[in-house]
Amino acid sequence: MNTAEQYFQIPSPLHKIHLFNKEVWIKRDDLIHPFVSGNKLRKIFFHAKHAKEDNAQILVSYGGYYSNHLLALAAYGAIGGFQTKGFVKGERPKKINPILKLCMLYGMEIAYLTRGDFANQRQSFGKIGNQYFIPEGGASSLGAKGCQAIVEELPNSFDHIITPVGTGTTLSGILQSVEQKKWETEIHAISVVNDRLGIEKLVKSITTRQYTFYQKLGFQKLNTEELAVVKELVQKSGILLDPIYGAKAMNFLKDAITSGKFKNDETILYIHTGGKTGWFSEKMTNHLMKL
């Protein structure tokens, strides 16, 4: 991985734990870097590579007030020798939050866009002048290409892979790689957003590999079962999930195992897609306090 490789734990570790009475392997992309973590490095990597090849100096992208993606980009820029600019959805807040402050500490220039302008611009992509635009969340075929590495780094195939889904970019990369390897793995895609058509459209534009789609509604909401799963996992293994994606995908896995969905001898891999700073938004801190 590029000149910045010494800063990232790549390949990310693969940990085996005993969970819900079953052996479960966890791909620890959350350990890649404190902030360029989970699928964030994967989704930024090829955009940054193209930006460097095109001699762009400024990486530009989009996100919300508590965007993991913008923080990852800010840290990546400082490591990789880029200036960075982040467009944030909404008005300039009266008091800046720690995530945006960290972005600025890493050197990111922050600008605010009205919701309308944000919606129009958030998928900007490619080089304009000395700036290279990355769509919000790194969601694109280049982002998916980076996510292929999640599977390429595995030493062997698994019978089941479970991954959380937002835009479907990470899922697409996983599917592409599984297809190339001709694995028969069943991919369980746990969507936390209510946009099945949008996800399917993105995935189809990238790969025809099949997967099983599940919908876990309640974006940015945590129910008591999901909170209990987060607590159980962190107290048993020291592995902390993010509250928005991981909590729901792990809750799916618990239900699947306890309801006997998997055969005894089948191997299971869960993808930890990072995102722990998600706990620091106001909403999620309220949930954290209940744990």
| Site for ligand PLP, rule CB under 6 A | 38-39, 68, 137, 139, 164-171, 242, 245, 273-275
Q: Which residues, other chains included, contact 81 with Cβ-Cβ below 8 Å and sequence gap of 6+? A: none
| Pick 57 or 198: Cβ nearer ligand PLP | 198
**Residue 12 CA, distance from chain mean position:** 14
Output the smallest distance, CB 94 to ligand PLP, in A: 26
What 8-state DSSP symbol labels residue 63?
Answer: E
Whichever of 57 and 64 has its CB closer to ligand PLP, that residue is: 64
Whether 8 contacts 253, CB under 8 Å: no
Element (H, E) at 228: helix 224-237
Residue type, 72: A
Residue 57 or 219: the one with the smaller Cβ distance to ligand PLP is 219
Is 251:37 a contact under the CB 8 Å cutoff? no
**Residues 165, 172: Cα–Cα separation, whole Å:** 10
226 or 242: whose CB is closer to ligand PLP?
242
Read off the amino acid at residue 138: G
Retrieve residue 77's tokens.
């820029």
CB of 137 to ligand PLP, least distance (A): 5
Task: Kindly state the smallest distance separating residue 3's Cβ from ligand PLP, in Å.
Answer: 25
Judged by beta carbon, residue 199 or residue 256, the one nearer ligand PLP is 199
Residue the block writes with tokens 């946009």: 195
Shortest CB 52 distance to ligand PLP, Å: 22
Which residue minimizes CB distance to ligand PLP?
275
Distance of alpha carbon 205 from alpha carbon 188, whole angstroms = 19
Q: In angstroms, give the least distance from the CB of 147 to ligand PLP.
A: 7
